[in-house]
Structure 1
Amino acid sequence: MDATLQDLFRRLEQLNTIGTALSHERNIARLLENILLAAKAITQADGGTLYRTTDDGRHLRFEIVRTDSLQIAFGGTTGEPISALFPDLPLFGDDGAPNNSLVAAYSAIHAETVNIADAYAAAGFDFSGTRKFDQKTGYRSQSFLTVPLKNHENEVIGVLQLINARDDDGSVRAFSDADRRLAESLASQAAVALTNRLLITQLETLFESFIDLINTAIDEKSPYTGGHCQRVPVLTMMLAEAVNDTTEGPLAGFTMSDKDRYELKIAGLLHDCGKVTTPVHVVDKATKLQTLFDRIHLVDTRFEVVRRDAEIAMLKAIAAGEPRDAAEARYAATLRQIDDDRDFLRRCNIGGEAMRAEDQARVRQIATAYAWAGPDGLRADFLSADEVENLTIRAGTLTAAEREIINYHIVATIKMLEALPWPKHLKNVPEYAGGHHERMDGKGYPRGLTREQMSVQARVMGIADIFEALTAKDRPYKPPMKLSEALGILRKFAEGGHIDPDLFEVFVRQRVYLRYAERFLDVGQIDEVGG
């Protein structure tokens, strides 16, 4: 077998390897870069440019520029900006006529490969820009191979332009027919890979936009908890990356691929999607008597009626012959008791960490302490049974029934997510999102899972969910908590079997809490944290 045939077989094998590699690349910038680098390698070109057609189909946009001998590298993964240096190439003039003077534009417009042995001797194309570049850099642009990238619908989605094919001794030569065929084959594979990647990216963007739509609906329902749906995914990924970077201890074996990261990101965004089913008046319940409005004002009205009745009773007593001083003194004492009871109920209505048993008993005593006639004229308790139940809530502002309604959101989340036909790379989303209210000791909800039954990702999300709720500054029922307080509570949770102690140790050691705080908390919340 002669050297030329061996070289052709070698390059064909290289082409097959490149095609496989392109089909697996998820990052579009890296994919574009790999396409150009592969084309340069397979044709032994010194330089090259990859263009993509703009959305309006009227321009070619520079994506990647490489020239090895000049050490030029723009676009792709280099981080070097390209748009400011290389403006878009127009495919059509102002009059709508095709721009056939530029070889890259010609290739895109006519979907044809153009092979030029020497740009300085070529007729029919405008290489003035090339000559200016050569004059400025001392380069000599000679051979050009320009290949259109066509998708499955035979539409041109880009152009691959290669410059200065080189022999083994480094001398510049024209691109051969074998170079052209290989470049066209690569361009075909590259176009398929790029089109597939763009389609997948568009579907992912659409899917994430739909998730944002759900979270926006939750935001619109409740301005107090809407931000939670945005912050928990961020904190989840922060902690997951910290665990991924851990090289020692029980979590040293945990690693994430790009697919794993995307799966966890989606789970984080959807972790509370079931809240679309939660009634707004329960989510936003800022006081114990709040429903669609705060019913403490109804209680205030009753107190005003009781005050009026006390005044009428005093005047009747005086009219009946009771000494004025005695009647007025009794009236004044009644008013003081009314005002004291009213202020007490107002304080109870606010809610807090823990209500004393004696305060609960006083609420029940007030409920029957005053004579009160309902709308039907019959005597009724001053406070209804429902009002007593709410005003004697031990902690917070929710009754047991309302907590069940709130807790149901995770059941709804699991039902919604398990009903979706998840692709293989997202199959764990329901488990990750549905486990953030479980506990390590099996006392969580809704399934009572233990630590061993949960993935690391679900346990990570559990910590993120709690820490965000503790430090949130937009809740109507509590002031924002300082870092030291929140970490103190989390530490107790770790010691008490609520959250994963190993993950909490990473959370603290890697200062994940501080990086999150610097992004989302008020300056006044960021205090000194002890060891």
Structure 2
Amino acid sequence: MSAAHLPPHASDAHQARRALPEMLQIATAISGAASLPALLRQILSSARDLTLSDAGSIYLVEQEKGEKRLWFTAFQNSSLAARGAGIDSGLLDVRFPITPERLVGWTALHGEVLNLPDVYAIPPDRPYHFDAGLDRRTGYRAVSMLVVPLRTMAGDVVGVMQLINRKQESSSMLTPETAAALVRPYDAGDQQLIEALAALAAVCVERAQALEGQQRQIDSMIALLAGAIDARSAHTGQHCSRVPELALLLAEAAEAIEVGPLAAFRFQGEAERREFRTAAWLHDCGKLVTPEAVVEKATKLDAPTNRIHEIRTRFEVLLRDGHIARLEGLLAGGDPATLQRDFAQLEQELQRDFACVARCNQGSEGTDPEDLAQLQRLAVRRWWRHFDDRLGLGWEEQARRSGPPVPLPAPESLLSDAPHHRLPRPAAEVPEASWGFNLTVPELLYNRGELYNLSVARGTLTGEEIYKIREHMIHTIVMLESMAFPPSMDRVAEIAGGHHETLDGRGYPRGLTAEQLSIPARILAIADIFEALTAADRPYKRGMPLSQSLAILAGLRDRGRIDADLFDLFLRSGVYLTYAQRFLAADQIDPVDLDALLQPRPPSP
């Protein structure tokens, strides 16, 4: 008997009363649903209620590597649930190929409805058949079945809804023995209603796939940016992958807190968690435009190669000149002993002076003031150049060498701060005041002066290079605020852009205060600092042990730079140790005095 000629039934009145409210409820749910599986379960429940179906399931069509499969997404069964006999969890969330032998596979392939009064009485000449294996495993008896495609407006089948056992009375509980007597076939009204409901379900699937596609697009951009940083430098690349790991560990610990200042912190759903994760991944995306030579400047004279070799050659020239002077003195009849003593004294002096240059080039935490004074004395020492220093230069470097060439041979300073070492800053590299950045922009883009670089008191970077490093935060904020993130991720720039800010307002690039810094931004700041301190793959420093790294963080807490409550949680929760065991070398994981670290100390005057 076809669905169009099935007799009416008294329960049709129930269906008519419930149809419109259920449809409106589902339409409303579609507009605000965040989880497709949850919404499909709601649609399946409504379809069963409207048709008095005892059981049902929904399958979605997936495509991977050109092959379409059906994903068993939702399953409901009133009679099994009443008996406390659910379906084996191993049968849910499975994928299987779409084949015409299966009922749902045939509908998925052909996009046509199957309305079967008794699935055990399907004519043998049909291309499909009912698989009774599930009935046998669960102790159930399927009788009538309605299999409807979830078809989009474009005609694509994105899933299949399967309703089982259209009951005569909603209160009936079915057993294998009573099912045939308590079940009736699905009629034309049922089929028409479920086809309409299936169309709504298809809208849900299409919408969810569109959102997933948007999220994949965002994720691909994140992967692209992070990958580009990885490709530029293995050192910064490891930083960009480790900071999110540490930040998420600390965020999860903060979410678990139920009392105290952090008790109110919670991510409001997966969307906020994803927003934070994205900000952590992109917190240093501005380093894409930071020159690698600055990021990895291991010595003061690196620009981008270590110019200590050029300076050493000048010392070699002076020593060779001394050797020639000694030989010329001997030819002129000079006293050999005196000439040898003078040459030995010159050699000793040059070796001592070059050692001073080499020490200064290393960029320790603090350069000896006597060495800095010696550099000034060396700068006035001369050597003679016999070749034109303008040959073989690029046009930009040629343009910086103004004035007529100096006649050869020409005297040169042993350590030079020449005009051509001063690289002007293009006007376009000065950020507009409207951004509110607090970084003072140096006059020059770079100063390559040898004496200027060697005289840096701490570290290896000049003032111009420190700005260039910090400028990555300007680029990060500009880049992230220019990206078209969805509304659910509109705080990515704020979170990522705040990890170099400090609670006392002395950070950069905007000098924000504690009131302006969110908990996620504060978490990211701690993660960024700790990773940088412990990282063992930087060319300009060695990875610090745990005790030293935590002591530095404790000092920042005591000076009001980082969040004291988060740092306390960082220690008490063991997040620091979890991270260390995952990413640090064994010799860096030394004993830590937690009691001492947890006691704030007044900052040093």
In structure 2, the partner of 1:209 is: 220
In structure 2, the partner of 1:453 is: 516
Deviation string 1:162-198 (CA, Å, 9 cap, x unpaired) is 3334441213313534544443333222221221111
Aligned in 2, Cα 1:128/1:116: closer, same or farther, shift over 3 Å? Answer: closer
The percentage of counterpart residues that share the same residue type is 39
Contact in 2 for aligned 1:470/1:481 (Cα 8 Å): yes
2:72 pairs, out of 63, 71, 80, with: 63
Following the alignment from structure 2 to structure 1, what is the Cα–Cα distance between the partners of residues 249 and 338? 71
459-468 vs 229-238, which moves further: 229-238
Contact in 1 for aligned 2:62/2:71 (Cα 8 Å): no
Following the alignment from structure 2 to structure 1, what is the Cα–Cα distance between the partners of residues 166 and 583? 54
In structure 1, the partner of 2:363 is: 351
2:207 pairs, out of 196, 200, 204, with: 196
Following the alignment from structure 2 to structure 1, what is the Cα–Cα distance between the partners of residues 98 and 110? 15
Following the alignment from structure 1 to structure 2, what is the Cα–Cα distance between the partners of residues 24 and 352? 58
Following the alignment from structure 1 to structure 2, what is the Cα–Cα distance between the partners of residues 58 and 174? 37
Following the alignment from structure 2 to structure 1, what is the Cα–Cα distance between the partners of residues 497 and 317? 50
Alignment map for 1:125-524 (pairs within 5 Å)? 125=126, 130-135=131-136, 138-166=139-167, 167=169, 168-171=171-174, 172=179, 173-174=183-184, 176-177=186-187, 179-257=190-268, 258-369=270-381, 371-373=383-385, 375=387, 376-385=408-417, 386-524=449-587
Following the alignment from structure 1 to structure 2, what is the Cα–Cα distance between the partners of residues 344 and 152? 78
Aligned in 2, Cα 1:406/1:136: closer, same or farther, shift over 3 Å? Answer: closer
Deviation string 1:437-493 (CA, Å, 9 cap, x unpaired) is 111111111211111122222222222221221122221101112222111111111
Aligned in 2, Cα 1:251/1:67: closer, same or farther, shift over 3 Å? Answer: closer
Following the alignment from structure 1 to structure 2, what is the Cα–Cα distance between the partners of residues 265 and 49? 34
State the secondary structure of the residue aligned to 2:120. coil
Aligned in 2, Cα 1:483/1:182: closer, same or farther, shift over 3 Å? Answer: farther
Q: Which amino acid aligns with 1:111?
A: G
The normalised TM-score by structure 1 is: 0.88
Offset of residue 370 of structure 1: 5.4
The normalised TM-score by structure 2 is: 0.78
Aligned length: 515
Aligned in 2, Cα 1:36/1:330: closer, same or farther, shift over 3 Å? Answer: farther
Q: Which amino acid aligns with 1:449?
A: L
Q: Which amino acid aligns with 2:379?
A: A
Offset of residue 3 of structure 1: 7.3
In structure 2, the partner of 1:115 is: 115
Deviation string 1:412-460 (CA, Å, 9 cap, x unpaired) is 2222222334432222222112111111111111211111122222222
Aligned in 2, Cα 1:20/1:236: closer, same or farther, shift over 3 Å? Answer: farther
In structure 2, the partner of 1:95 is: none
CA-based RMSD: 2.7
Following the alignment from structure 1 to structure 2, what is the Cα–Cα distance between the partners of residues 337 and 42? 99
Aligned in 2, Cα 1:36/1:339: closer, same or farther, shift over 3 Å? Answer: farther
Q: Which amino acid aligns with 1:152?
A: M
Following the alignment from structure 1 to structure 2, what is the Cα–Cα distance between the partners of residues 321 and 284? 54
Contact in 1 for aligned 2:145/2:186 (Cα 8 Å): no
Alignment map for 1:23-34 (pairs within 5 Å)? 23-31=31-39
Aligned in 2, Cα 1:175/1:494: closer, same or farther, shift over 3 Å? Answer: farther
In structure 2, the partner of 1:96 is: none
2:98 pairs, out of 89, 95, 110, with: 89
Which ranges of structure 1 fall in alignment gaps of 5 or more residues? 91-98
Following the alignment from structure 1 to structure 2, what is the Cα–Cα distance between the partners of residues 262 and 139? 42
Aligned in 2, Cα 1:360/1:38: closer, same or farther, shift over 3 Å? Answer: farther
Deviation string 1:127-181 (CA, Å, 9 cap, x unpaired) is 6662344445543222222111112322101112233344412133135345444
In structure 2, the partner of 1:529 is: 592
Aligned in 2, Cα 1:338/1:426: closer, same or farther, shift over 3 Å? Answer: same
Contact in 2 for aligned 1:437/1:462 (Cα 8 Å): yes
Following the alignment from structure 1 to structure 2, what is the Cα–Cα distance between the partners of residues 408 and 24? 41
242-251 vs 4-13, which moves further: 4-13
Offset of residue 403 of structure 1: 0.7
Following the alignment from structure 1 to structure 2, what is the Cα–Cα distance between the partners of residues 120 and 372? 104
Contact in 2 for aligned 1:36/1:64 (Cα 8 Å): no
Aligned in 2, Cα 1:129/1:515: closer, same or farther, shift over 3 Å? Answer: farther
Aligned in 2, Cα 1:67/1:192: closer, same or farther, shift over 3 Å? Answer: closer
Contact in 2 for aligned 1:142/1:164 (Cα 8 Å): yes
In structure 2, the partner of 1:9 is: 17
Q: List 4+ stretches of structure 1 deviating above 6 A.
A: none
Q: Which amino acid aligns with 1:232?
A: V
Following the alignment from structure 1 to structure 2, what is the Cα–Cα distance between the partners of residues 29 and 380? 76
Contact in 1 for aligned 2:15/2:51 (Cα 8 Å): no
Which ranges of structure 2 fall in alignment gaps of 5 or more residues? 1-9, 388-407, 418-448, 595-605
In structure 2, the partner of 1:94 is: none
Contact in 1 for aligned 2:150/2:157 (Cα 8 Å): yes
In structure 2, the partner of 1:52 is: 60
Offset of residue 527 of structure 1: 2.2
Following the alignment from structure 1 to structure 2, what is the Cα–Cα distance between the partners of residues 528 and 44? 66
Following the alignment from structure 1 to structure 2, what is the Cα–Cα distance between the partners of residues 151 and 8? 25
Contact in 2 for aligned 1:15/1:182 (Cα 8 Å): no
Following the alignment from structure 1 to structure 2, what is the Cα–Cα distance between the partners of residues 471 and 41? 60
Following the alignment from structure 2 to structure 1, what is the Cα–Cα distance between the partners of residues 11 and 137? 39
Aligned in 2, Cα 1:174/1:348: closer, same or farther, shift over 3 Å? Answer: farther
State the secondary structure of the residue aligned to 1:120. helix
Following the alignment from structure 2 to structure 1, what is the Cα–Cα distance between the partners of residues 67 and 362? 63
Following the alignment from structure 2 to structure 1, what is the Cα–Cα distance between the partners of residues 342 and 51? 106
Aligned in 2, Cα 1:502/1:3: closer, same or farther, shift over 3 Å? Answer: same
